[in-house]
Amino acid sequence: MVTFDASNSHFEYMDVVRHWSSKSQKYAGGDAVMTLLNNGWRIAETVFLEEYWHAGSRCVTIFHLEMHRDDEVMNVPVLSNPYVRRMVDTMPVQVRPVSDRMRQRQR
């Protein structure tokens, strides 16, 4: 599991608490991920990246995070933006294509 050190993240301005549920929203934002981390959730060591191309010229990137707290597991799809990209880049996680996750599930 990846531990989160807020003192080294430069995200100190995140005083906003954001709730996210897969039942109400398809994707989470970076603020919701920060709230989860601050509430004791941890990100698994592998993050999966999915890209959608719209009209062949606009790429939308989604990070699929598997988050754990005690015996709970939650899959959180997060729309990429500069904030989320920086957060993922600074964490000790391995980023792999989402197709690798599909192969793991088929085994």
Residue 49 forms part of a structural domain: yes
Domain CATH code at residue 24: 3.30.720
Instruction: Check residue 6 and give its pLDDT.
Output: 56
Residue 8 forms part of a structural domain: no
* No. of helices (H) and no. of strands (E), the chain: 3, 5
Q: Summarize pLDDT for 2-55 with one digit per residue, the tens.
A: 665 655 555 555 567 888 888 999 999 999 999 999 899 999 999 999 998 988
Q: How many domains does the chain have?
A: 1
Domain range holding 89? 18-106
- Assign 3-class secondary structure to the chain: CECCCHHHCCCCCCCCCCCCCCCCCCCECHHHHHHHHHCCCEECCEEEEEEEEECCCEEEEEEEEEEEECCEEEEEEEECCHHHHHHHHHCCCEEEEHHHHHHHHHC
pTM summary value? 0.79
